[in-house]
């Protein structure tokens, strides 16, 4: 155990498509209002990919910036993990498309499916290879084109999501830096609360199911809401404790960017001040697997997270899944 190396983030990158769709534009698409969306979710606008952009295109932009930020070349990467629920296609993995596009000639590549918790799952998975010394440089990307799996006639879901990508390079860091603790969890009994029913082996995408829009995301909002509030607070408390810290030692918390009411409720339950919570969902909506890495990227770039800070991130999403981690920021 003592021979284990410490794994941490040495570079971050992010990308969102140019097209901004605000709530007033959503009013023209479905029967909704800016007032409803803002008061129920905190979302004011989201980014939507252009017709020519797929998930890998967003991922590549974020990846290039993360490599620059880490000061390494793509050829140095040993592994690429792409956390996504909106891959370019079911096969091959989006990670392989990214591997080719950035020229990561030595890297293994795979996609990871844990929906909105995907980046935390990817970070923790990648970290195991660094800790054992098997690999030296790993790129973890959360990237989504949620706009492609939304039912644009369902006002209860289409107003919530946006497109984007965030990326992080992980590598060995100093002994008192990097990932201090983590928790990954799942509860498949809630699988139906957040689901894209068609397009897999259970319900292949025939003309009939596409006509019924069963190839689009379906969500039981109130059930997910209750789960999110509970799991955000409980898993955050456990990872902070297992890092040997108090909640007051946390400098910045990066919650999954789904809904400000979930974030506010977690902040109360955790007795962590709202100023320590990084929130950017008003500008981007819920970018699923891209939410946490893009928030990390913006928090780092804006100086909100500084070297030496204790950063707590907590994700939750379809599965149901959750993932939380505490890191001592090393860049």
Taking the complex as a whole, the smallest distance from the CB of residue 177 to ligand ACO amounts, in Å, to: 30
For tokens 């498509």, name the residue. 17
Give the DSSP per-residue string, 212-267. TTTTS-EE-HHHHHHHHHHHHHHHHHHHHHHTT--GGG--EEEE-SS-HHHHHHHH
Residue 157 class from Cβ within 10 Å (0-12 exposed, 13-18 middle, 19+ buried)?
Answer: buried
Among 47, 286, 304, 329, binds ligand ACO (CB under 6 A): 286
> What percent helix, strand, coil does the chain show, rounded to 5?
40, 25, 35
What is the nearest approach in angstroms of ligand ACO to the Cβ of residue 126? 21
To ligand ACO, the closest distance from the beta carbon of 11 in angstroms equals: 26
Nearer to ligand ACO, 5 or 40 (CB): 40
From the centroid of its chain, how far is CA 216?
A: 19
Distance CA 228, CA 126 (A): 25
Q: Which one of the listed residues 96, 116, 158, 216 is annotated catalytic?
A: 116
Name the nearest CA neighbour of 47 among 61, 33, 36, 35.
61
Clarify whether 300 is annotated catalytic: no
- Nearest approach, Cβ of 150 to ligand ACO (angstroms)? 10
Residues binding ligand ACO: what is the number (CB under 6 A)?
Answer: 23
Which residue number, 144 or 183, has a Cβ lying nearer to ligand ACO? 144
Catalytic annotation, pick one of 23, 215, 259, 286: 286
First to last CA, the chain: 25
Contacts of residue 236, defined as CB under 8 A and 6 or more positions apart, other chains included, come to: 247, 253, 266, 270, 312, 314, 324
Closer residue to ligand ACO, CB minimum distance, 36 or 110: 36
Query: Is 54 a residue that touches ligand ACO (CB under 6 A)?
Result: no
Other beta carbons within 10 Å of 36: 15
Residue closer to ligand ACO (CB basis): 131 or 157:
157
186 lies in the site for ligand ACO, by CB under 6 A: no
Cα four-point dihedral sign 149, 154, 157, 162: positive
Q: Is 120 in the site for ligand ACO (CB under 6 A)?
A: no
Applying CB under 6 A, among 159, 231, 277, 314 the residue interacting with ligand ACO is 159
User: Using CB under 6 A, which of the segments 32-40, 105-113, 127-135, 182-190 binds ligand ACO?
Assistant: 32-40
Rounded least distance, CB 28 to ligand ACO, Å:
13
The piece of 13-21, 61-69, 216-224, 238-246 that touches ligand ACO (CB under 6 A) is 216-224
- Tell me, residue by residue from 217 to 256, as one string, x for binding to ligand ACO by CB under 6 A and - for no binding: ----xx-xx--x----------------------------
Query: Within the chain, where are the H helices?
Result: 23-29, 34-41, 55-70, 94-102, 118-132, 155-158, 207-211, 221-242, 260-270, 281-284, 291-301
Say how far residue 110 (Cα) sits from the centre of its chain: 16
CB of 216 to ligand ACO, least distance (A): 12
Q: Which of 256, 259, 300, 310 is catalytic?
A: 256
CB of 224 to ligand ACO, least distance (A): 4
- Residues annotated as catalytic are 116, 256, 286
**Interface ranges with ligand ACO (CB under 6 A):** 32, 36-37, 40-41, 115-116, 155-156, 159, 194, 221-222, 224-225, 228, 258-259, 262, 286, 288, 317-318
């Amino acid at each position: 155990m003592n021979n284990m190396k410490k794994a941490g983030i040495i570079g971050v990158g992010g990308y969102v498509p140019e097209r901004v769709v605000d709530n007033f534009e959503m009013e023209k698409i479905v029967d909704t209002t800016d007032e409803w969306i803002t008061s129920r979710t905190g979302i004011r606008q989201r980014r939507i990919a252009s017709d020519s952009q797929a998930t890998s295109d967003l991922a590549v932009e974020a990846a290039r910036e993360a490599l620059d930020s880490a000061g390494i070349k793509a050829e140095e990467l040993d592994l690429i993990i792409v956390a996504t629920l909106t891959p370019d296609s079911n096969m091959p993995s989006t990670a392989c498309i990214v591997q080719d596009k950035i020229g990561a000639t030595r890297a293994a590549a795979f996609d990871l499916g844990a929906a909105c918790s995907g980046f935390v799952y990817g970070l923790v998975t990648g970290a195991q290879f660094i800790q054992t010394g098997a690999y030296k440089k790993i790129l973890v990307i959360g990237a989504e084109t949620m706009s492609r799996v939304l039912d644009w006639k369902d006002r209860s879901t289409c107003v919530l999501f946006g497109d984007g990508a965030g990326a992080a390079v992980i590598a060995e860091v100093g002994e008192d830096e990097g990932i201090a603790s983590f928790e990954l969890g799942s509860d498949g009994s809630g699988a139906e609360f957040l689901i894209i029913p068609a397009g897999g082996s259970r319900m292949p995408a025939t003309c009939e199911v596409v006509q019924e829009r069963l190839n689009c995301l379906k969500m039981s909002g109130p059930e997910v809401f209750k789960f999110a509030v509970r799991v955000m607070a409980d898993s955050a408390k456990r990872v902070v404790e297992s890092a040997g810290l108090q909640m007051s030692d946390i400098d910045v918390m990066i919650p999954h960017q789904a809904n400000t009411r979930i974030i506010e409720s977690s902040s109360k339950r955790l007795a962590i001040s709202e100023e320590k919570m990084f929130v950017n969902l008003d500008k981007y909506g819920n970018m699923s697997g891209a939410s946490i890495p893009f928030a990390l990227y913006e928090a780092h770039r804006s100086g909100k997270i500084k070297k030496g800070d204790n950063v707590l991130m907590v994700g939750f999403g379809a599965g149901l899944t959750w993932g939380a981690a505490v890191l001592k920021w090393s860049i």
